[in-house]
Structure 1
Amino acid sequence: MITKVTAAGLAQDAADFLAFKRAMGMSYRRAEFDLNSFVCFVRQRYGEHRASLEEAVTLWATRAGARKAITVGNEFGVVRQLCLFRRRSNPRAFVPEHAVAPVRESVFVPYIFSHEEVLTLIGAASRHEGGNLCGTMLRAFTLVLYCTGMRLGEATRLRMEDVDLRRGILTVQRSKGRTRILPIRDDLVAELRHYLQHREKVLASTGVGASPALFVRRNGAALTLHAASDVLRRLLRDLGLKPASGRCGARPYEFRHAFAVHRLTAWAVDGVDVHARLPQLSAYLGHLNVLGTEVYLKATPQLLELASQRFEQHSLGRRLKP
């Protein structure tokens, strides 16, 4: 049976679907963007005439051949969820097969900072004095990124109420549909105490007095995701870790990758069962499941070399037994 739809009908279905998901506590902000894109595509191609949903989904998913496979797969997944939602009220409604966008795994390989590069970046951040961002704040910000593995947006959204330095805890509020509590080391606690003293002086000098945001700029305004991403990208370019132009090279997001890989490597060096610790790291990073964390096991040659050495020792030990 051919399912016929109109752009207006799809728009209403999308609104109902988002309301259903948000009633269960999910934000679905990115999904809303993708669904709006799909509805606009249907409206531009078919107007308000009835069209085949199967044809519309296929044309939309294959509309640009140069897009990354992971992007196509993520967008298609949202539209497929919408189709499954529509089937709740019509058991015969069309639902596309996964074969329309079969590739889901990203082939992107992150840049993993070495320990020396991390120290160099923190030093450069500490000395930064350009624009409306001072080095003291930027140092604390980069340390939080590296020492906790937070996403860039999570760190910029931290509020004073999320910081408990007495207990050594940072709280990430409602990120990816969940809140998580992150214990932090004493040295990061000390760095944040020093930054908070500086923060008080900034707010007092600007007349702002108080701000709910943890990270503030020289004028007392909260640090934004755009400003943080921009200044870190400039630091990466200045240090030669990223080309002078273009989107290639290391990214601000690599602090999160470095945290994960360095933690796993340290466990491996200490002889810890890395696979047994993966769920802990997964929860700390805020991954939906451990599969999102396993990718880091193959992210660095050092981890692979350690695994190879352990396997060789284990195999040799078994052969030498009488």
Structure 2
Amino acid sequence: MLKQTVQSYLEVRRACGFELKSQGNLLRSFAAYSDARGKSHVCANIAIEWAGLARLAPRRARRLGEVIRFARYARAEDSRHEVPPPVFGGSQRIRPIPYIFSTDEVRHLVQAASQSGRESLRRYTYSTLFALLACTGLRVSEAIGLRYEDITSEGLVIRSSKFRKSRLVPLHDSAETGLERYLERRRPYAPFDDHVFISTARKPLIINDVEIAFRAAAKKIGLPCGPGMPRPTPHSLRHTFAVRALETCPDDRDHITKHMLALSTYLGHAKVANTYWYLQATPALMKGIAERCEWFVMGARP
């Protein structure tokens, strides 16, 4: 019975646009654990016991947090379901400080990708992909999911991306030129596949391919990495785009609000709060905020 309730919960939330891949696996695991102990409804003690099987404290908190959310849904229909207390603390995952590229680092990364391995389409694929990520702020999954028909005279059409939202991403003339130059080389390579970016096996790129190519290029140019330091990843190119866009934000309050809303829409964020996160996650932006606050307190104008 609990398995059926879990399935109903997942279907409702997925209908709202959530994928819930890992969450679904966790809840199905919890349902199986409960069924094995003869529980057909959420039992707080069993939920805490199951969540406590995780080795790390953040993982235990996350597991129990998923059950708590599920239990609230289930209890609305059947009061026999218990909502466990958050005994392992909050389940909110702490987002790491993003790595922000300098202009020179982006240029060197693209150049390193264009010189990696033997002469082949692979060089053009990853140098074009990294350049596109840097100048558009696309998610990696959005970029590798592009099809020929998604390239229009008005920009890139990002179809049913995260949260099943679609949007149009305008391209600078230089980006259009670079993308068309790549497509001239790519089209004869796999003429029966309409994915924009393909691997040397003539198949659409997968995220693991991109991460491997990125690590090789990052290592070649000596990007800093180490314990306690922000870690550069392909997604860092999206972070960098967002931060650079925020750095151009005007000082006027009304303009700031409009700027943030426009950027949130452009990036495809589900909530504008996800865009504001960059303000607190980026030291350079926080420094600017602190300086403006100081000017305001001192009665001066920035």
2:44 aligned with 1:54, yes or no?
yes
Whether the 8 Å contact between 1:170 and 1:184 is mirrored in structure 2 is no
Code of the residue aligned with 1:78 in structure 2: it is E
Cα displacement (A) at 1:270:
11
Q: Distance in 2 between matches of 1:72 and 1:259?
A: 34
Equivalent of 2:5 in 3, 8, 13: 13
Q: What is residue 120 of structure 1 aligned with on the other side?
A: 108
- CA positional deviation for 1:254: 1.0
Matches within 5 A, 1:35-74: 35-42=27-34, 47-50=36-39, 53-64=43-54, 66-67=56-57, 69=58, 72=60, 74=62
Q: Which residue of 2 aligns with 1:267?
A: 249
Task: Give me the whole-angstrom Cα distance separating, in 1, the residues matched to 2:195 and 2:277.
Answer: 33
Q: Distance in 1 between matches of 2:234 and 2:300?
A: 45
1:82-139 deviation digits (Å, cap 9, x = unpaired): 2123223213421234565325251521221112111111111122235986111111
Alignment correspondent of 2:174: 187
Q: Equivalents in 2 of 1:223, 1:107: separation in Å? A: 26
Deviation at 1:215, TM superposition (A): 0.5
Secondary structure in structure 1 of the residue aligned to 2:187? helix
TM-score, scaled to structure 1:
0.80
Which region of structure 1 is more displaced relative to structure 2, 258-267 or 49-58? 49-58
The count of corresponding residues between Structure 1 and Structure 2 is 299
Say if 1:132 and 1:217, in contact at 8 Å, map to a contact too: no
Matched, 1:238 2:227: no
Give the direction of change, closer, same or farther, for the CA distance of 1:233–1:75 in structure 2 (3 Å limit). Answer: farther
* Structure 1 residue 244 displacement after superposition: 9.6
Checking the alignment, whether the CA contact within 8 Å between 2:98 and 2:230 is kept in structure 1 is no
Mark the runs of 5 or more structure 2 residues left unpaired by the alignment: none
Structure 1 residues 125 and 272, CA, compared in 2 at 3 Å: closer, same or farther? Answer: farther
Q: CA deviation at 1:302?
A: 2.7
**1:60–1:274: structure 2 CA closer, same or farther, 3 Å change rule?**
farther
The more displaced of 138-147 and 296-305 is 296-305
8 Å CA contact retained: 1:202, 1:219: no
Code of the residue aligned with 1:118 in structure 2: it is V
- Using the TM superposition, give the Cα deviation of residue 242 of structure 1 relative to its aligned residue in structure 2, in angstroms: 5.5
Per-residue displacement from partner, 1:170-204 (whole Å, max 9, x unpaired)? 3242323322222222221111111111111322x
Residue 6 of structure 1: aligned partner: none
1:198 corresponds to 2:198? no
Q: Please say if residues 237 and 244 of structure 1, whose CA atoms lie closer than 8 Å, have aligned partners that are also in contact.
A: no
Q: Normalization by structure 2: what TM-score?
A: 0.84
Instruction: Kindly report the root-mean-square deviation, in angstroms, between the aligned alpha carbons of the 2 structures.
Output: 3.2
**2:108 and 2:251 mapped to 1: Cα distance?**
24
Contact 2:144 2:197 (8 Å CA) reproduced? yes
Tell me the secondary structure at the aligned position of residue 181 of structure 1.
Answer: strand
Partner of 1:212: 194
Moved more, 50-59 or 210-219: 50-59
Identity %: 27
1:304 & 1:248 partners in 2: Cα distance? Answer: 16
Amino acid at match of 2:140: L
Structure 1: unaligned runs, 5 residues or longer? 1-8, 204-208
Deviation of the 1:72 alpha carbon: 5.0
Aligned partners of 1:155 and 1:91: how far apart in 2?
46
SS at match of 1:201: coil
Amino acid at match of 2:185: H
8 Å CA contact 1:76–1:101 kept in 2: the answer is no
- String of CA shifts for 1:133-171, please: whole Å, max 9, x gaps: 61111111112211222222222222222221x112332
Change (3 A) 1:26 1:110: closer
